Structure 1
Amino acid sequence: MSSNWLSQLTSEHVRDLMPYQSARRLFSAEGADGDQLWLNANEAPDTEAVQIDYRLFNRYPDCQPSEVLAAYAQYAGVKKGEIITTRGADEGIELIIRAFCQAGKSNVLICPPTYGMYAISAETFNVGVKKAPLREDFSLDLESITAFVDDVNVVFICSPNNPTGTDVPTSDIIQVLEAYKDKAIVVVDEAYIEFSTQQSQVDLLSKYNNLVILRTLSKAFALAGIRCGFTLASPDIITTLLKVIAPYPVPAPVAQIATQALCPEGIAKTSDRVALLNAELANIAARLKKIDNVEIVGGTAGNFILFRHKQNKALMQYLVERNLYIRDQSKQYLLENCLRITAGTSEQNERLLNAILAFFEGEISNKQFTQNQTSRTQA
């Protein structure tokens, strides 16, 4: 048998697929000795203690735990029939593509620079990816977006957008919903909505039956490790998504933790966390602006900040060598030389900022040394 039998057996679109380079794939936490500073994955810097009841762990969990649905429906302001819970918002993305796109025939539309899993998930299912890039100010190019009517089944809009930290105005989203009415699903990813001053688009659900909203407990609720997300939509869309979801998508411990996080006390702690992180973001931005040639890019509607400097590669290497991890976004459209910092605790942010300042001070010293050496040689 040929040695490349596995390659021949693998689906062609999978064989050529480049996997999403998550923060943990790039820099694994396995074997970490505690000195690492992880500010590269838009995670919260801390979490809360939880209580776990293990007595029913020998049983399969409910497909859609009623306590979790009721708690999040109340939090989000939707009816119980307008919501499902998933393994992170990422599974919600996959369910939408699986339910409303046909392999080898359908397309989705994305607006780069944006979250990479929209394209990766589509390509995994052999679904085409069309692009309507953002304008230079990171606003939607509505003319470009509406040009794909009748050519795509799903439109993905991230608001607040990762990695630019910018909001999409409700008026723009309404224009997209109107253009694709009875034509396609419009997905608004609100993973970072708690960090934004803009109101959620939940009120539009009653007006537009082609709207889907994605939410998560990974960011503001500080529960990235339990993988719990939510998809909000019309009852008809929810019914369709439940046809393609796994039998037991929410493990029993996850349901218990999520329910605790969504109690009044848990929501209050989340609000306090968001306020602290927003204050830290403001401090990070102010400190970065004092460094020569550093440009703050986009907005701060997420729990992260994006900045640009021509020495981005050298700075990234300098930080990695010191176990300080941020995210390189320089390969994305419009984001040349850009790096992204997730807000951490004040101590974590201070450690990172001091290292960044030390790098640039070192660069200045090196330049001065080189200039002095050149002057002496010429003399």
Structure 2
Amino acid sequence: MGGDTESLKSQVRKVFEGGGYVFATKAANIARDAGFTNPARLASNENPFGTSDAAINAAKEALCSGNRYPDETADSLVRALAEYHGDCGLKLNVVTGVGMDGVIENVIRTFIGAGDKVVVSTPTFSFYNLAVTAQGGVVENVRRREDFTVDVPEFVGACRGAKIAFLCSPNNPTGTITPAEDIEEILKGLLKENCMLFLDNAYVDFCDTDYRRLMKDYDNLIIGRTMSKAFGLAGMRVGYAFVPDWYLPYYKRAQTPFALNNISIAAAVGAIGDREFVKRYVNHVKEWRDAFEAGLKKYRMYPAGANFVMIDVAPQKSDDVVVKLAKKGVIVRSCASFPTLGDTFIRVSIGDSWENEMFLKAINEI
């Protein structure tokens, strides 16, 4: 091979010389080495019920069109999502992306250039920071209160001079629900600063708080959603968002062409039609969240509105507890990689019943 690789490396932007998204893979290797071929997988907030038969059948049929480009507008999916959300009484503008990540990247692409300020409510999903930095923007993190609720005046104040702010509710990894009234207060404050709010609702299916009505009155609101969780399509990478009328053409111009493939689109439409599948899983999550709270003997669990819970394992360190649980065949997520959170928290997904029972037994033995 020719060329000076060190000189070529110098051409890569400095921001990518380290860091990157932290995946929960180490624990799986530890469980395997401990002899568990089928461990309890409670690290990635996946739907343990699998994928709806309606989605699978639709995806199989779509494989026959693998030689054709997908509909660039994903029109069948957009229409299905609009109908699904018709219960809120509003006509919502729906856009799609390759997972929530793809939606976030598209939104950032339309607003952020070199040096532009973005505010993020933290601790939270690290991809906001990664995507903003990749676009040349500058992130200002605003810490939540000690109980992980949002200090509304502080958050709004930090948004002076920012183009867009990110807030996740229910929040990942804390599970905290920000009341709709607080979000409305934030939107009012951000309007005065000419700032957009991206409200990440990836886990909103698992709580009783509805933010969709806010789209009617606030043109600075974008609500991100995903089909990875309640719909069981994590492997299909289907994200979507509700956007204001004025913003719709800008999003479409910035979007990667043919982003969603035929199989993902078909599977998503099929999944939307199987409402009983979603309802069964959501009820399962709510029941087991209560069971986790009742079943934990030694550690504090924080209130959660998601398909996971966050637990403080102090005085132990989260990384150590992850290893101990993995050796017992239970894979959970250490939250030590989440900026500003600290090193004593773990995130535990609500899995199948046997997985949840296995976790409770293991955590209470540590």
Of 39, 46, 51, 2:49 maps to 46
Corresponding position of 1:247: 257
- Mapped to 2, the partners of 1:21 and 1:89 lie a distance apart of 17
- 1:261 aligns to 2:271 (yes or no): yes
Aligned partners of 2:327 and 2:205: how far apart in 1? 33
1:132 and 1:141 in contact (8 A); partners too = no
Q: How does 1:80-99 map to 2 (within 5 A)?
A: 82-99=93-110
Contact 1:280 1:345 in 2 (8 A): no
Structure 2 counterpart of 1:282? 290
Q: One-letter code of the match for 2:215? A: L
Where 1:96 maps in the other structure, the secondary structure is helix
Contact kept, 8 Å, 1:112 with 1:132, in 2: the verdict is yes
Contact 2:119 2:159 in 1 (8 A): no
User: What residue identity is the alignment partner of 2:326?
Assistant: V
Moved more, 229-238 or 32-41: 32-41
The answer to whether the 8 Å contact 1:81/1:238 transfers is no
Instruction: State the alpha-carbon separation in 2 of the partners of residues 111 and 283 from structure 1.
Output: 29
CA contact (8 A) 1:64 1:250 kept: no
Residue aligning to 2:70: 61
C-alpha distance in 2 between matches for 1:55 and 1:9: 42
Shift of 1:3: 4.0
CA separation in 1, counterparts of 2:223 and 2:99? 13
Preserved CA contact (<8 Å) 2:22 2:337: no
Instruction: Give the structure 2 partner of residue 321 of structure 1.
Output: 327
Pick one of 79, 84, 106 that aligns with 1:70.
Answer: 79
Partner of 1:203: 213
TM-score by length of 1: 0.86
Question: C-alpha deviations, 1:53-109, integer Å up to 9, x for none?
Answer: 133211100112211111111222377771111111111111111110112x20211
User: How high is the sequence identity, in percent, across the aligned residues?
Assistant: 26
Q: Please point out which of 330, 333, 358 is paired with 1:351.
A: 358
**Any residues of structure 2 matched to 1:138-177 within 5 Å, and which?**
138-177=148-187
Higher Cα Rg: structure 1 or 2?
1
Aligned with residue 341 of structure 1, among 348, 351, 361 = 348
**Aligned-partner SS, 1:281:** helix
1:141-171, Cα deviation, whole Å (9 max, x unpaired)? 2222122344211111101111111111112
Which residue number in structure 2 is paired with residue 6 of structure 1?
8
Higher mean alpha-carbon deviation, 310-319 vs 235-244, is at 310-319
CA contact (8 A) 2:49 2:281 kept: no
Give per-residue Cα distances to partners, 1:112-161, cap 9 Å, x unaligned: 11111111111122211011111112121222212234421111110111
Runs of 5+ consecutive residues of structure 1 not aligned to the other structure: 361-379
Q: 2:308 aligns to what?
A: 304
Measured after TM superposition, the shift of residue 356 of structure 1 is: 2.0
Task: Tell me by how many angstroms 1:322 deviates.
Answer: 3.7
Q: Deviation per CA, 1:168-194: give whole Å up to 9, x if none.
A: 111211121111216111011111111
Distance 1:90 1:26, change over 3 A: farther
Equivalent position SS for 1:156: strand
Distance in 1 (CA, whole Å) between partners of 2:28 and 2:119 is: 30
Please, which runs of 5 or more residues in structure 2 have no aligned partner? Answer: none
Q: Is the 8 A contact 1:277 1:345 kept in 2?
A: no
Is the 1:43–1:342 contact (alpha carbons within 8 Å) kept by the matching residues of 2?
Answer: yes
Query: How far is the alpha carbon of 1:284 from its aligned partner?
Result: 1.5
Letter in 1 for 2:287: A
Shift of 1:321: 2.7
TM-score (ref. length: structure 2): 0.89
SS in 2 for 1:357: helix
Summarize deviations over 1:306-356 as a string: whole Å, max 9, x none.
111222443221122344210101354244411111001111111122222
1:10 is paired with a residue of what secondary structure? coil
Q: Distance in 2 between matches of 1:313 and 1:196?
A: 29
Measure the CA separation in 1 of the matches of 2:144 and 2:336: 16
Hey, what's the Cα distance between the residues in 2 that align with 1:7 and 1:274? 47
How much has 1:222 moved relative to structure 2?
Answer: 1.3
Amino acid in structure 1 at the alignment position of 2:135: F
Indicate the residue corresponding to 2:300 in structure 1.
295
Separation in 1, partners of 2:209, 2:342: 24
Give SS of 1:214's match: strand
How many angstroms apart in 2 are the aligned matches of 1:307 and 1:180?
Answer: 32
